[in-house]
Amino acid sequence: MVHIIGMWQATCTSRILAVLAEKGVTDFTLTEPSFVEMKSPPYLEKQPFGQIPILEDGDIRIHESRAICRYLAAKYHDQGTKLLPDPSDIKGWALFEQWASVEAENWNEHAFPMVNQVFFNKLKGLPVIKEVVDENREKFKQRLVAFDAILAKQKYMGGDEFSLIDIFYYPYTKKLFQIGEGALIEGHPNVKAWWERISTRDAWVKVSNPDYKGPE
Amino acid sequence: MVLRLTGLPQSLCTQRTLLTLLEKEVKDFELIPIDWSTGEHKRPPYTDRHPFGVIPFLEDDDFRVFESRAIARYLAVKYENQGTALVPAAGDTKSWALFDQWASVEYCNFHPLVYEVLTHKLWNPFKGLPSNESIAEDNTVRLAANLDIYNKILGQQQYMAGDEFSLIDIFYMPAVNMLIQAGQGHLFEERPNLKAWWGKVSDRSSWKKIST
């Protein structure tokens, strides 16, 4: 059985929960480590950066939420929402990788530092470096012009169909709204429409609910 | 078959794709430079093909793909039967899971920090733009902490994704080189396993061709 070490409400864990929900997978377990445990030697053997999430599935153990998502989407390829290209579709995979890289390089690259400063640093009692937030907001605004142009030509971030690429965007886009930066999304009509499309999907509505503790 | 790569040989991202082509012994391609000084890549017609206005960009007959790591993965799979093995075999689920894990480690725990350090210590000064010392310092401190972890990882495996050289190492190489050029070489010199890894990968003939 698939076992996740993560947190029900954590950003990166939520990507995995969204995949499992889109695939209709209910047979999994999740344990929540304490922050102290995450820095302990046995934990660091599994995840040297002391982060969540980790996946354990038989003799496979991996960390990194997007890698775990890819693994699960492939494992459950034949059920639920189609999230990946077919294995033999080399061009489909090239475009998948292109859009996966776009998410990391052009969206998360700026969304994460803003969220990290305003949300996570505050949580940890660390100072918020306003220049990091301001600089990343300005760079993100430029990227959003390009995203709006892309989403004028395709309905989703990976093409004309919903895919794993859209799932990658969920957590930090949601957090942008939580830290009061939702105007960045709402200010671009195609980006706004895309966010409305994907954030109202049943799977995301379920797993992003603050009370979500797994499938009933 | 016409493989056309638009980019510049001194560009960090283009170097990832050039290294891949060299390791896969692909000779039949054209490198098409863009005119950086006029900002050719920041306006149409280039931005009609690449919405973010950056390099590199690959055309394989009428198939187009951008993002250097995506281009590199595409080439590594397309030419899987020649040159250095850079990605796992098709269908090897466990190896691909680990490959994607180590790929994510690079773009989450290394690249964003390196990008900020290079922006403020190398690229902004080069362009005559102001640098922000506190952002540079914050990112250097966090990069150094992560490099300590890399040093431990490389005490247990020879390369960034396991015991064999792979595409993951290629993802790191141009950025490591640029950090050294930006005067941050001590970050690698001070960490013996990282230093040994850099010694190995920079000794490869593909790197020597790129860096001359």
Calculate how close chain B gets to A77, using CA atoms only, in Å: 13
Pairing of strands A54-57, B57-60: unpaired
- For residue A132, pLDDT over 90 is answered with no
Contact state of B149 with A64 under an 8 Å Cβ cutoff: no
Three-state secondary-structure class, residue B177: helix
| pLDDT score at B134 | 84
User: Could you report the predicted ipTM of this complex, rounded to two decimals?
Assistant: 0.96
Neighbours of A114 (CB within 10 A): 22
Q: Record the tokens describing residue B78, joined without a space.
A: 């397309």
The 10s digit of each residue's pLDDT in A155-172 is 999 999 999 999 999 999
Nearest-by-Cβ selection for B65 from A49, A75, A94:
A94
Residue of B nearest to A152 (CA): B51
Question: Rounded CA gap, B1 and A24, in Å?
Answer: 42
- For residue B212, pLDDT over 90 is answered with no
* B135 band by pLDDT with thresholds 50, 70 and 90: confident
| pLDDT score at B1 | 63
Question: Rounded CA gap, A68 and B65, in Å?
Answer: 25
| pLDDT score at B2 | 78
Mean pLDDT for all residues in chain A = 96
| pLDDT score at B30 | 96
The 10s digit of each residue's pLDDT in B53-76 is 999 999 999 999 999 999 999 999
- For residue A216, pLDDT over 80 is answered with no
What is the arithmetic mean of pLDDT over B74-88?
97
Q: Record the tokens describing residue B182, joined without a space.
A: 């930006």
8 A C-beta contact, residue B77 and residue B60: no
Given CB atoms, is A112 within the 8 Å cutoff of chain B? yes
Comparing A144-158, A192-206, B6-20, B121-135, which segment has the lowest mean pLDDT?
A: B121-135
The 10s digit of each residue's pLDDT in B8-43 is 999 999 999 999 999 999 999 999 999 888 888 889
- Residue % of chain B over a pLDDT of 90: 86
Question: Rounded CA gap, B179 and B121, in Å?
Answer: 9
The 10s digit of each residue's pLDDT in A170-179 is 999 999 999 9
Nearest to A32 by CA among A214, A216, A215: A214
CA-to-CA separations, A182 to A11, A194, B144, B198, in angstroms, rounded: 17, 14, 33, 42
8 A C-beta contact, residue A71 and residue A25: no
DSSP state of B29: E
- For residue B7, pLDDT over 80 is answered with yes
Which of A11, A16, A46, A49 would best serve as a mutation to test chain B binding (most B beta carbons within 10 A)?
A: A49
Given CB atoms, is A32 within the 8 Å cutoff of chain B? no
Three-state secondary-structure class, residue B112: helix
| pLDDT score at A36 | 95
- Residue % of chain A over a pLDDT of 70: 100
8 A C-beta contact, residue A63 and residue A54: yes
Residue type (1 letter), A24: G
| pLDDT score at A131 | 87
- Residue % of chain B over a pLDDT of 70: 100
Q: What are the φ and ψ backbone dihedral angles of B113, each rounded to 5 degrees?
A: -70, -45
DSSP state of B10: T
Cis peptide preceding B9, ω within 30 of 0: no
Question: Rounded CA gap, B156 and A208, in Å?
Answer: 37
Q: At what angle do helices B167-179 and B68-78 cross, to 10 degrees?
A: 140
Contact state of B52 with A102 under an 8 Å Cβ cutoff: yes
Question: Rounded CA gap, A70 and A76, in Å?
Answer: 10
CA-to-CA separations, A175 to A9, A32, A41, A111, A199, in angstroms, rounded: 12, 21, 31, 9, 12
Surface of B (35-54) touching A: CB under 8 A: 51-53
* Residue numbers in A near B51 (CB within 8 A): 146-147, 149-150
The 10s digit of each residue's pLDDT in A10-44 is 999 999 999 999 999 999 999 999 999 999 999 99
Calculate how close chain A gets to B209, using CA atoms only, in Å: 26
